[in-house]
Every structure is written in C-alpha cells, then in structure tokens.
Amino acid sequence: MTPLKPKPLAVVIPVKDNFEGLQKTLEALWKEACISERVEIAVVDAGSCLTTSQWLLTQDHRIEHIRSAKDNGVYDAMNYGKNTVNASWIWFLGAGDIPEEGSLISLLDGLITWDPQQLQIHGVAIESPELGVPAHYRARWDSSMIWRNTTHHQGVIYPAELLKEHSFNVEHPILADYGLHLSLFQKAVKAQLHPLTICKVEAGGVSRRFDTNLYREEWKVKKSVLQGLQKWVHPIWLLLKYVFKKSGWPVRV
C-alpha cells in the first residue's frame, strides 16, 4: 500500500479541564472546507477530565492523534504534539482559541510559497477584553521581544523541521513560548510577517495574569537567554513593569 502523503499543516491542541473550549476550537476547525484533506489534528489531553477523554474516543475518525494521559503542563503537551505530527508546518491552538473566519483557507493556500527555514508570523486578537491587554497583536519579530512578549504562539506557524531542533522548556510553565521565541530571535532565526489575523485567543491565559509568578518566570527566561548588560538591566525593568501593571497604568508591558 502506498503511504499517505503528509498533510501540509498540523494543528496541535493541548487541553486540560476545558472540554467546552476544546469542542469550540475543534468545531471551528471542522467547519472549514477541505480540512480533512489538508489539516492534521493532534489533541494532547492531560487526562484529568473523564468527559474530555471519553468524548475524544468518539472523534478518532476526525482527529489523527489523540493522547489522554497526565503530562507536565501545557508546554510538555506541545512538545509531545510537535513530535507526533507529520505535517511540514505546525500551528498550536489552546482549547477555546478559534481561527478567524476564512483564515485557515488563506493559510493553506499561502503556505506553498513560504520559506521552510522561516517562522511565519500573523496577528492574533483577544476574544474578550482584558484589563491591561491589547485587543490585538500584530505580527512582530523584532527587538521589542527583548523587553516584552510581543509574539504569541497562536499567531505563529512553525516549520516542523525547526521544531525538531528546539523544544519548549517545561521548566518555564507560563512563558516557555516566549522563551523559545526569544532564543530563536537571539540566534538570528528569520521570520516572515503577515498582515492576516489568524486567531481569536480565549481570554484568561496564565501569561496575562501579571502576578509575581509571571515576572519571576520572565526573569528566569531572560537570564537563560540574554547576555551582558542587556541581561542585567532586566531586574529593574521587570520591577517597573510589575509596578505599572499593578497601578493600572495603560501601558503595553
């Protein structure tokens, strides 16, 4: 039997205790035309919700890869997913995140022209307003990342070959995506920026809580990636960011 040709795009969805969000994301994907022929889906379930695990068993005809088992957090699940799929490009969505209408077809039609050595970065929108969080993040890949998390994984389509060489650091349970992006930027990995907004991100993510755990972890990320003076100004910078956020100032930090 001739092996099936890999689909061009894989969507990896980690989930824990968010059955309704998972259904919302999958239904949004499934309603898109040609998804069964062109998109490979992997759901990596933490196994803590019996309803989720049982429902996934009924969907194995539409989901290529399903794992329901205890894991070491969302980035552990993302690492598992990226190593499981066969597509040339990988997109990570959280349970509850949904593609912008029409964006998936645009991605599939455009990816044949993409450079497989470059990240493909798009805009993302926050589904519901959150205090201190911009409603929209445009595609960026520049030195602003040294100071704040301006590129979010829901807006990035990753070359699978690049992710074989790099993993999300599970020791950073809040900001491992930021840590990976910052490391890749420092290594001069290139990115192509796109004007298309491809995802509405579900509100309430842990990286948008702006508590001491977030800023403590941001320092760990930066300490492991940055060098010299660029590194050592960050304890002061992070303290200022924390104070500004707690004061309610409308600053994008």
- Give the pLDDT band of residue 5 (cuts 50, 70, 90): confident
Digit-coded pLDDT (tens) for 168-215: 999 999 999 999 999 999 999 999 999 999 999 987 666 556 678 899
Report the first-to-last Cα separation within the chain, whole angstroms. Answer: 55
What's this model's pTM, rounded to 2 decimal places? Answer: 0.92
Distances (CA, A) of 11 to 104, 109, 233: 11, 16, 37
Supply the mean pLDDT for the chain.
91
Question: Which three-class secondary structure state does DSSP give residue 183?
Answer: helix
Digit-coded pLDDT (tens) for 36-46: 889 999 999 99
Q: Residues near 82 by Cβ (< 8 Å), separated by ≥ 6?
A: 12, 90, 158, 160, 163, 164, 167
CA distance 109 to 97: 21
Average pLDDT over residues 6-27: 96
Q: Where are the beta strands (DSSP E) in 52-126?
A: 65-68, 89-92, 98-99, 119-126
Look at residues 195, 122, 106 and name the one whose alpha carbon lies nearest to residue 158: 122
Q: Residues near 114 by Cβ (< 8 Å), separated by ≥ 6?
A: 89, 120, 157, 192
Digit-coded pLDDT (tens) for 206-252: 655 667 889 999 999 999 999 998 899 998 888 888 787 766 555 45
Digit-coded pLDDT (tens) for 75-112: 999 999 999 999 999 999 999 999 999 999 999 999 99
What kind and span of H or E run contains 182? helix 176-186
Could you give the domains of the chain?
A: 9-247 (3.90.550.10)
- Give the pLDDT band of residue 1 (cuts 50, 70, 90): very low
Distances (CA, A) of 191 to 92, 151, 171, 225, 253: 17, 11, 26, 19, 23
CA dihedral of 211, 216, 217, 218, whole degrees rounded to 10: 90
For 42, which DSSP code?
Answer: E
Handedness of CA 162, 123, 134, 244 (dihedral sign): positive
- Give the pLDDT band of residue 253 (cuts 50, 70, 90): very low
User: Is the Cβ–Cβ distance between 140 and 150 less than 8 Å?
Assistant: yes
For 2, which DSSP code?
Answer: P
Question: Which three-class secondary structure state does DSSP give residue 90?
Answer: strand
CA distance 133 to 197: 17
